[in-house]
Structures are given as structure tokens and as C-alpha cells.
Amino acid sequence: MCGRKGPRTSELHFLATHSCAGSATSPRRSLYIRATSHEPRATIAYAAIAARLRLVPLAFPRPRRPPGAPHHARLAIRAAGGSPALDLGTEDRAMATKRSILWFRKGLRVHDNPALVKACDGASAVQPVFVLDPWFVKPERVGANRLRFLLESLEDLDASLRSKGSSLLVLHGDPERVIPAALEAWRCDRLCYEFDTEPYAQKRDAAVNEAAEAIGAEVHVPVAHTLWDVEKLLSKCKNGEPPTAYSSFLKIAHSCGPVPPVAPHVPNVPAMEDHTHGDLVKMLGDVVTGSGVPTLEQLGYPALPIDEGFPARGGETEGLLRLRKMLDRTEYIAEFKKPATNPTDLWAPVLGKGAGGTKPATPFDAAKAKKGNPKEVDAEAFMAPATTALSPYLKFGCVSPRTFWHELRVVLDQTLKGKHSKPPESLEGQLLWREFYYLAAYGTPNYDRMAGNRICRQIPWTWDETRLAAWEEARTGFPWIDACMMQLRKEGWMHHLARHAVACFLTRGDLFVHWEAGAAVFDRELVDADHALNNGNWMWLSCSCFFYQYFRVYGPVSFGKKYDKDGTFIRKYLPALKDMPAKYIYEPWTAPIDVQKKAGCVVGVDYPAPIVDHAVASKECIEKLAAAYKAHKEGTAGNIVAVGKKRKAGE
């Protein structure tokens, strides 16, 4: 290789490793390689050579050795013609400084972030990135409420990183192309990100890892989205198959020892000062389709006014505030039993004081009250429902589950001194339920479907599109069910008992529609939609796995009445029924026609008639489940194909 001499010198720097004497068992040595030329354009040739030799690019431009600094031993390899040269020198330092890419996906936080810790370890520069994947960013796949929560979380993460001397670069494109391209273009030799258990993420990450390793970059993937490493939990499962009983899971979790401590605090993040965000984006060319945190409208979504939708802002800052305020409520923690909380509670301030300045009743007081009329509050206020409402923050990793666990343990052990509710209903138990589902999902192939799922009962569900659409669009004619579904559509949220009721109604309670269809709607609309929890809960509530008392059905009339006799919840989400007398609000079809007209809501005109007769439909569903269970017990169930045509993904 030859080049022309000139007045300027151009350099590139790489790190290579080799085994002594060509033996696989010989110790590996690190070599520092400097490519020097008097022709700046020769750097292009150097980069090509480095790629073929699979050398790792180091920080650039490398500063010249200061006067008086010690020399490094070098071996100069010169091509025919004399110039330029590749100078191979063994550094007298243990390791050159690193340039890291910190890839955020979930784990949108700076506290308890081991990937952030590793990215900064010995690094001269760290560039945090988030890639907006077009596979996700579609209205038919991810609802506006969840996407807005994500965008708010990214803005909050950027602010947190800026306080540490860094910033978040949001890139638009396919991560399988964007991340490897960024490693090469930005000459980074280390990639760090948080381990993700979901099937899509596993496939994506495997492709990125392969590409990163092919160009010589280190890949570090620590666990921080779960309490324990799910691989460790899975290794302790009999035959490598996760249990479907919570009690069995607790034994496995106990055998793994204490929940690992949180990661160290990172006070500063070394910025990639040699290039601006604009420079870094340009270096990626057409691999990216855009950059920056976009608006919903820019992504093809309809506008969602600030006072509409999910009434809490996304991000680590608000997530931690909610966590700490909740942990301050020691009486609430001591008495917490999730099944007892009230699904009809409207949103109330998380700080513990209402508009009148009085501390609100606990969820248990509200559930036990003979008469209640919860105060409706402004959606712009900082709010929380009866349960902790931390699930969206855990879903996106704005709040670390280990931080939640350890801070909760301090309250349980030191403040309450053990006098509190116990798992599975307690707050501690809810974190363990989350872990239970994560293990089940990670260790069960085809976890999100009935076919090929070893833990899922084979039941002859239907794909009845008419019934599914009526349920999805809040048109079943059962006000309690429709109000819950309208809350989901408007806010991306439902209380866990409301989720139970509508899931039961769609599947084994009344409509006998496949649980996969309901899970897909929840996965699109819920702010806290989570692959492991969502599909696990749908299998549970359809009596396909985990829970098998199919004869216990949530009544679409009686269940809501238990919590909200006057129908305040229904009136909020179904304005057509706002003037219906309390006596008829759960069953408006039973109201005399003159009462319906006076209320301005005639059934069949202003509000749908019931889609089924609950008494008849429930009986039929129970009979079908009984037959399916009998076939399962006798080993004759086989692989059942649901009746009808399944919706395509995104429909």
C-alpha cells in the first residue's frame, strides 16, 4: 500500500488481540495498533483494512504523546512502497480507554442501572441512545396512551442524563441495523444494554449481538428488569420447566438467595464530546429515518390533549416520586391486600390529601363502605388509583423493581417490624407475582398462544368478530363491562379487578371468545402492557392455566355493584347513562320505558341492549369448559383449533 507524502498527518487507532504461538490455550495479548499517513484521505483505506482484520476502533482522534512521555515498544509493519505504515505497539497500560454505546430500550432510568455502570467503567466517552423501532410505533400495535408515556419517559431520561453531563440521542429506525452501524461509524468498542426476556427482544438482540461481535465490539447485557436473573431461576426448575403454582415458584426464588442489591450510583457520564448529535446522526446515513423525540402526530397518531388520556406523566422522576409517596403511607402498606382494592375508585391525589385537605380512606375502607361516592378529580392533577399505579413505571423500567423491593423491605422490617400483610396479596407479594410470570413466560415456548403451549389448556374458543368488536368498543349492553372498556380506550388503564371482570366476560363468563384476542386488545391499549403479565393473566382469567375454578364467574351486573352501588364509575365513562336512576344503572334494560326516556337513554337506541342473556350464556360457557377439562384429564384434548378466523396482528 502506498500513499503520497504531505504536510499533514492522519491517524487511526485500533485494539487487537492474538494468542501466542497460535495456540488456542495460550494467553491472549492486547495490541495497540496505530495507522499513520501523511495523506488524510488514507484514513478511508485504514478503516477498510481494519474491518477486514476485525480490529476494534479506539477513541479518535488519539492525542499525540506529550513531550517527555515514555515511549511504547512498537513493531512497524511497512507495506511495499514505504508509506503509510501500520505501527503495532504493545501499550504499557493494561487497557486502552473505551468508547461505549449505552442502548436504552426498557430500563429508562439512571438509578439502579448496571448497564449504565458498565458503559461508564473505564470509558473515555459514552453515548446513550434509544431507537424508535418502526415495528412498535404503529397505532394498530401500540396505543396512543402508552406511546405518549414512552415519549414522556424519554424526555425525562434525557433531562436526567444531562444533569450528569451527557444526553440521550433518540434515533428512528430498525435497531438491528442502527446499533451495529453506530458502533462502526462512531468507532465504539463496547455495547451495553439491559437484558430483555420478551421473544421479539430476544430475536432482535441476538442479531445485534452477532453484528457487534463481528466488528469486534464487546457486548455487556446485565439483568435489571427483574428481581433475579431469570436464567438462574430457570436453572432451578425441574426439567427446566417453570412451575405454574405460585407456592412452587416461591421455593425456587428462596433457593436463589436474597434479591441482589441495586447498582452503584453514577454521578457523571463521560460525553462523546468530539461530535454533536447532528454529526452522529449524519454519520449513520440512511440507516436512520430521523432523530429526536417526536410528537404523537409526527408518528401518525391523532392528537391526545394534555388533559386527556392516562392521567400521570411518564418518566423516572415521577415514577420515583410515586414510589416514595406510596412508601410513606405505612398504614396502606401494612394493610395492602390487592384483591380487596376497589376497581371503581376514581383517580385520587397520590400525596394522600384530597381537595378538602383530608386524608382519603384506604382502599379497604372504600371497598367496605355501604355507600360511597368517590370524588372525581381533575385529570391534570398528579393522581393514583386504589392500587399503587406503579405498573407503567415498572413496565418501562422507569422504576427499578430492585429499588422498589429494597425500599419496601426497609418499611416492612424497620418501620412496621413485620406487622403487615403477607404474600401473595401484599405489596411484596405483587413483586413476586411479577417475577413468577416473568419466569413462566421466559421458560415456556409459545407462551402467548394456546397452540404449542405446554401449560395452556386446549379449549374450543371462537374468534367471533362481532362479539369481540362489541366488547372492544364498549357496546356489550352491560354498563359495568362497557364502562371498564371505555376507561381502557380513553386512559389506557384499568384497575386489576376490572381487568378480571372484562376478561372473564369475554372468555369463559359470557362470550366464549379466545383469550388471545382479548390479550391482543390489552397489549395494544394498556399503558402497562407487559408480555409476561398480560398473557399470563389472560390464561389465568380464562382458566387456561394457573387457575382452574371455571365455575366461578364475575357477574357483569353484581360485581360492580359491590363496589359502587350508585354507579358513579359508570356515569363517568358512559355519559349516555349519566341520568339513569341508580336502581337501573347496572341493568338499564329493566327500567320502564318512561324512566329510560326521562333519563335520555332508551335501550336499543341510545345505549345497546345486552349482547347475551348472562344467565344462559354463563351456563353454556361452564358446560364447554367442563367438557374441555374432562378431555384434558382423559388425555383426549389434542390440539384444538378455535372456531372462526383470527384477526391478523395489528387489525
Residues 120 and 66 in one domain: no
Of 122 and 71, the one with more pLDDT: 122
Instruction: Judge whether 152 lies within some domain.
Output: yes
Q: How far apart are CA 336 and CA 331, in angstroms?
A: 8
Per the structure, the count of domains in the chain is 4
Terminal CA-CA length for the chain: 58
Alpha helices for 564-613 (secondary structure H): 568-573, 593-598
Question: Is 251 inside any structural domain?
Answer: no
Of 395, 410, 442, the one marking the end of a domain is 442
Q: Which residue has the higher pLDDT, 82 or 597?
A: 597
Cis status of the peptide bond prior to 61, with omega within 30 of 0: yes
Look at residue 301 and tell me if it is in a domain. no
User: Are 433 and 495 contained in the same domain?
Assistant: no
Phi, psi values for residue 364, rounded to 5°? -75, -40
Taking residues 94-110, report their average pLDDT: 87
Q: What is the pLDDT of residues 250-288, one digit of tens each?
A: 999 999 999 999 999 999 999 998 899 999 999 999 999
Are residues 630 and 522 located together in one domain of the fold? yes
Across the range 614-624, mean pLDDT stands at 97
Residue 253 lies inside a defined structural domain of this protein: no
- Tell me what pLDDT residue 651 has: 57
Q: Average the pLDDT over each of 437-451, 479-493, 618-632, 636-650 and give the range with the smallest value.
A: 636-650
Q: Is 316 in contact with 403 (CB distance < 8 Å)?
A: no
Residues 164 and 279 in one domain: yes
Between 586 and 307, residue with greater pLDDT: 586
Provide the total of helices (H) and of strands (E) in the chain, helices listed first. 23, 13
Structural domain including 339 reads 316-442
- Residues 604 and 479 placed together within one structural domain of the fold: yes
CATH number at residue 532: 1.10.579.10
Domain boundary pick from 72, 90, 108: 90
Report CA Rg, the chain.
Answer: 29
Task: Work out the pLDDT band at 389, boundaries 50, 70, 90.
Answer: confident
Is the confidence at residue 423, as pLDDT, over 90? no
